[in-house]
Structure 1
């Protein structure tokens, strides 16, 4: 028998990707429930080839008897309904930022810190990290095991899908409007996104960093090592799907390019595609629809005693959100941390 699984925020971009990923990876499901706000009730979503789910209202749903709930409805909604689900005995895997930095809530990338999962029973909630953090720590982990990461300077180039379906629609409408000289005012972003780059993701904090930049720093420390220093500049770019990052890493000890390449080749979830020729790297467009984090442009950073620089890209809706959440559920099942129904 499989699990009774609820997907919260099922009509959003990440929710739909979660449902698709559960089917593709044949997660042991005996029943799956699609939940969303009242305005989405009655919509239909395909699960695999033969099943159609009818969306139910989250507010009225009783989580008792549900084994796992994968949440991606927005932080304010998770704040209300994730604890309600957890109190009913349901294990919550939350994609929002609501619980990531709370004590007693594991923040997990299964290939990086699976040991953290064993603490989930304190709250019955597990957090999925920020999409940009996931791909960076996955690339850093095998290098950290060799030489210990001391400091990271990262610039991100993040697609509009990270801001939701309405943001993707805005890029499309602005791109089309550009050619007829009828540019509408921005609604989802602070400035025009079509044919532009916006050096702001989320709100500004007192020190001048945006909240997205803060997330990358504190989440990396919680997942990988509390002593790692991170300075990030997060930029929204006119790409529909796929986040890219230029990462400069300072290590505590020596590490060679050959060691880094060998470590990435052995790391689950990472694909090294790096040849020093035109096109010998991976771009966000090529990562769309793929599960891996792709690493390219490896070179030595000679501005510090022990430094490397590299480029990494990933599909932010898959490994940056849906896939990582489903992999957490798979790890719980594999490690016997869930009680599978008789």
Structure 2
């Protein structure tokens, strides 16, 4: 008895293999992949997925060092699901990790991707990953429903003000880890709505009975009942000589360039959630620039004027 794995993929599967006999197919019935060399795995061993040095350098280029391990796991998860014609789901990802994961995944041709956090403006999202053809043939609503569930936590908080952190603490106090919890929408003195992985929604409803000292009722709700506050945006345009972040952010945050440079030197500016220490970094459409204490702006359409300057659309979140 032995087990085999195709050597054509740079991303091998992470799992302990159940040993099966090798079944040879007639050449006329073999797929192009099955004609490639097979590597026989030793019985009783667990083979961990690894990236070759070449593939690692290519796929993880531009990924923040702090996200390398997480993005590598997501790549392996996506490749595994694609090869099996299944759909796999990541944990809830923070914006920086999500940004880097998408950067790497878009370099893999056969993996389909759906990003979903329960509503269109969600900050923490999950990735649904699978064979791109299978994903295209699937109903998006079904993929989304399998990714995220919503739970309502209701109580009378009129005389005991609570915050996002209080609800998060109550949820994590049940033993659920942060990666299984998405956004928490606080509803003032009425409670909150929590996004969570579907397999833990029932447990959460049974486990959360109070927030701080206030008794609460916890129940599942459809995603359509989420009371999301759509962030307001102020759209503006600026014309600059370059696409340097100090020039565009100065216009977007309505700050002098010299004052902005001081904040950059102090580590308060982020491009796509990554700290930037120099004002010379260049921006492109879709980049998100955050300034501590000032919010964030998103770079929209960029056009070159007849004089060779850059007309930049900026959306500032209020």
With the length of structure 1 as denominator, give the TM-score of the two structures: 0.24
Point out the structure with max Rg over C-alpha. 2
Relative contact order, higher structure (CA 8 A, sep 6+):
1
Report the TM-score when normalising by structure 2. 0.26
